Amino acid sequence: MLPHPTLKDLQTISEEYNLKVPDDTLSHLLECISQDVDDLQHLDEWQNPLDDEKHKYADRQYHRPTPQENRYNAWYHKCNIKGGQKEEKCPFLVNKRLAIKDNIFIGMVPLMNGSKIVEGFIPDFDATVVERILNHGGTILGNVTCENMCLSGGSYNTTYGPVRNPWNPDYSAGGSSSGSGVVVATGEVDMALGGDQGGSIRIPSSSCGIVGLKPTFGLVPYTGIISIIRTLDHAGPMARNVTDCARLLTAIAGFDDGKDDRQPSTGIQFTNFLEEVESAKPGILRIGVLKEGFEDCDHIVNKCVQNAVSLIKSSTKFVTVEEVSIPEHSKALIPFYFIVSCATKDQLIDGCGYGTSMSGVLTSKLSEKLYGGLKSHAHTLHLAAKKIVISSEYIKKFGGSSRYINYAKAQTWCWHIGKAYDKALETFDVLLMPTLNKLPVKIPTTDSHEDMESCFNMSKNTAPFDMTHHPAITLNAGYDEETNLPIGVQLVGRLWDDATVLKAAKLAEETLSVLQKPFNFSE
């Protein structure tokens, strides 16, 4: 219980902030602030409006899989929750099996966000995307492993061991939606949900040779999903093909009745993305091949994606396939990483998941869990996450106002870079580039500084579009002959034009089908 303040407490705060409030005025404020404390105690006693939801999920059964059930260590819990086909429109997910990333609430099924910090948390309600999946008749087979606090693009920083790539188990499956990528690739599910703040849908999708879409920011509600940074949070579909990606997006997209403040308050018009994809016609869309997207990429990646470009260009699927230069793309990672460093610490670490600038449906029990978990288990964060905390706090403590001045500058550069993409997308319908600039790395055996760098050094072409909010999809463009690892090609489109991105991806998928190997991961 928070005690009432003393005059000495208020004097200390006044001096710390150079407010120069006289003692007689502070004496008056003492009474006012004591009332604030009383009001806080009253709020603390109120029941959470969502506590009444728990009874809906009381009969849900789940279990931790055995090693025999979990060959690539992709599953956290297995369950079998069948949807009820409550959707009045045509239900899109009947007879479809789905997996849910382990930062997304499934009511009364434990999640841990890949971390000891959150382990043991049991959500009281379904995330909106989970509710919509069930309403569309989908069957949820479990939640799947993600990286520790989702702060990595690898698949080896989660608490209970690495998630292995089914194409080559010595290598990373990509992250942070590692398990989502693996169980789709292996065929254990038809589709999965992932989350994406810097590439965490597209990195594992590319690494596992599947399709993954980061939708336009706000198109898919984030209600009931653990946030990292409000302005970067995206949730989206992962599937073996573009059609199923569009199918799942149709089910989960749309306005969430004001529960998620990432969404426009005016609402979102329903789009049947599946219908859009199925009606995709060749010879209409224009592709801009982003010159800067190929810079600083591994030779094998560029060779593979350029081969895919040649196939697309020689087909009749697109009316234009030509190079475009957007110099701002090469600058995007500097403001992105500064925003991530500042905002992750302020919101996720210091702000216990939400900070104080979010509205809508938030989960006080999650904040409570994060507060206690960080006190007792912060040391279990992996080195890359610890670096974010230490770097941000150092700049805050010793940089004076530079942290906030440069945060404002970084956000303004984010807007400026987004406008550069918008300008190019006036000429082209989608931009094309390698999804990742590097192949997945070998799974390391230690948490060293070299491994820390490998968590983030593949997001050159993914992170910018989290920052600018443009829709971006990855599909497979081929394989590295030496390691057998897939290599993805990314298509990026106009804000709120996810339908065109999916149509372009469908046409590209048809062209690139000659490059695909079968998904065959039997013992």
Average pLDDT per 10 consecutive residues for the chain, totaling 523 residues: 93 95 95 93 84 78 97 98 77 96 98 98 96 97 98 95 98 98 99 99 99 99 98 99 99 97 93 97 98 98 99 97 99 96 95 94 95 97 92 92 95 98 99 98 80 81 99 99 98 99 99 96 70
For position 44, what pLDDT does the model report?
A: 86
Q: In the beta sheet, which residues pair with residue 430?
A: 287, 493
Q: Exposure of 194 by Cβ count < 10 A (0-12 exposed, 13-18 middle, 19+ buried)?
A: buried
- Burial of residue 269, with CB atoms counted within 10 A of its CB: 0-12 exposed, 13-18 middle, 19 or more buried: exposed
Per the annotation, the verdict on 397 as an active-site residue is no
Quick one: pLDDT at residue 455? 75
- pLDDT value at residue 51: 67
Query: Can you say whether the dihedral through the CA atoms of 36, 38, 39, 43 is positive or negative?
Result: positive
How high is the pLDDT of residue 84?
Answer: 84
Catalytic residue among 172, 176, 177, 459: 176
Q: Which of 96, 101, 345, 503 is catalytic?
A: 101
C-alpha 199/C-alpha 287 separation (Å) is 21
pLDDT number for residue 450: 67
Backbone angles phi, psi at 213, to 5 degrees: -115, 125
Active-site entry in 200, 205, 227, 392: 200
* pLDDT (0 to 100) of residue 61: 96
**CA atoms of 96 and 329, how far apart (whole Å):** 38
Question: Which pTM does this prediction carry?
Answer: 0.96
Q: Is the Cβ–Cβ distance between 183 and 159 less than 8 Å?
A: no
At the fourth CATH level, the homologous superfamily of domain 54-515 is Amidase signature (AS) domain (3.90.1300.10)
Domain boundaries, the chain: 54-515
- Residues 238 and 184 sit within 8 Å (Cβ to Cβ): yes
How far is it, in rounded angstroms, from Cα 257 to Cα 280?
A: 31
Q: What confidence score (pLDDT) does residue 49 get?
A: 81
The verdict on whether 101 is a catalytic residue reads: yes
176 is catalytic: yes
Enclosing H/E stretch for 63: strand 62-63
